[in-house]
Every structure is written in C-alpha cells, then in structure tokens.
Amino acid sequence: MTHICSKPILIGPSILNADLSQLAVVCDNLLNSGADYLHLDVMDGHFVPNITIGHPVVASLKKHLPCKAFLDLHMMVSDPEKWIENMKAAGASQYTFHFESSKDVMHCIQKIREADMKVGLGVKPKTPVTEVLPYVDLVDMVLIMTVEPGFGGQKFMADMLPKVRYLREKYTNLDIEVDGGVTLKNIRDCVEVNLLN
C-alpha cells in the first residue's frame, strides 16, 4: 500500500528566466494561475557565476504582490549571513541558503530564526544528503538541487531524486523542495518520490 506523505505537494515556480521589465506582471500571473508560492533565485556572482536580483527587487515585488504572497528566497550567495536582515526587511517569507556556502550553518539558521523567517537549507548535487542530517530538525525545508546552481534552463538530474526519497523516508513531515529543470515531463517523478511505501 502506498501512502502520500502528510505534507501537500506545492508548486513554487522560479522567476529566474522571467523578463525583468515585466517581473511584477509575471509574478501576479503565476499566483493568479494557482502557484502556491514564488521561488526567487538570488545569486551574487561568487557562490555561483551568475548575478540576479537583490533586496531592492524583492522589496518592490512584495509591495506589488498580495500581502499573503509567500516569497521563498533561494540564496545562492557566499556568506549568506550578511544578506539576512536586508531580505527580511524586503519581505522574504523563507530564507533558503546553501549548506555549502555557510562557514557556520548553525549560526546562519539561528540568525534567520531571529529575523522571524522560515529556514530552508539547500544541497548542491555533489553534496551527499547525509551531510545535512544534523540540521534537518532545525530547518523548515530542505532544497535538493536537481541541476548545478547558477543558471536556469538546465537539464533535470533524475539521479538526485534518491536524495529526496531518503529524506522523505527519514522525515515524513519535512518540507522538501526539488529545484532545477522541473518540467511537465518530469514533475510526476518529483511527486512520486515523495510517496511513502
């Protein structure tokens, strides 16, 4: 018998490839079309080679969007601790930083909690998921990268799905986010890996 985990499946589209001149319209359209939340990729050109948006854009979007809009910031940045206060002030709902980017993961988690945001912990493809286990009970969500972070439009890495399965079996109530290359062709695989046997 197969049971679905107690967590509902949510869709949080990334706006990474959106036309920046139309960003507010794109976000409105996504939310009005049924998106559960918005995934905003923040890149600093150091942790990953690309540069995207910062807190001024997040603040502008937050002013434009409905109050209830949940903004999940995926912080692909070096030294994620230094961005926390500005992103909180800008209106971030969840602050997802990479395990690999922080010199002190516990301190970063604590600072995010003190800023009254939800905490997400990202895991790059080459990082064994077992390395983040000491922190899983301290965060709200674990983000499993199914592409190398830094650029949109990459091919989905299905060989990362066992990480999701492993976490789901150990932590039935954990929010697990699959990020990168998700399309209509592979979204079913992402959902099915969240089923518990």
Three-state secondary-structure class, residue 141: strand
Active-site entry in 19, 28, 36, 41: 41
Q: Do the Cβ atoms of 99 and 123 come closer than 8 Å?
A: yes
- Rounded CA-CA distance 171/166 in Å is 9
74 belongs to an annotated ligand binding site: yes
Catalytic residue flag (residue 72): no
Q: Is 39 annotated as a binding residue?
A: yes
Q: What is the DSSP letter of 33?
A: T
6 annotated as a binding-site residue: no
120 belongs to an annotated ligand binding site: no
Give the relative orientation of helices 23-32 and 55-64 as an angle to the nearest 10 degrees.
50
H helices of the chain, in order, are 23-32, 55-64, 84-90, 105-114, 133-136, 161-170, 187-192
CA distance 12 to 180: 12
- Please tell me whether 179 is known to bind a ligand: yes
150 in a known ligand binding site? yes
Answer yes or no: is 107 a known binding residue: no
Asked if residues 134 and 124 have their Cβ atoms less than 8 Å apart, the reply is no
Catalytic residue among 36, 79, 179, 189: 179
Angle at 31 between CA 43 and CA 117, to 5 degrees: 50
Known binding residue 14? Answer is yes
**179 given a catalytic annotation:** yes
Question: Which residues define the annotated binding site for a divalent metal cation?
Answer: 39, 41, 74, 179
Residues identified as active-site: 41, 179
Question: Which residues define the annotated binding site?
Answer: 14, 39, 41, 74, 150-153, 179, 181
Question: Which residues define the annotated binding site for substrate?
Answer: 14, 74, 150-153, 181
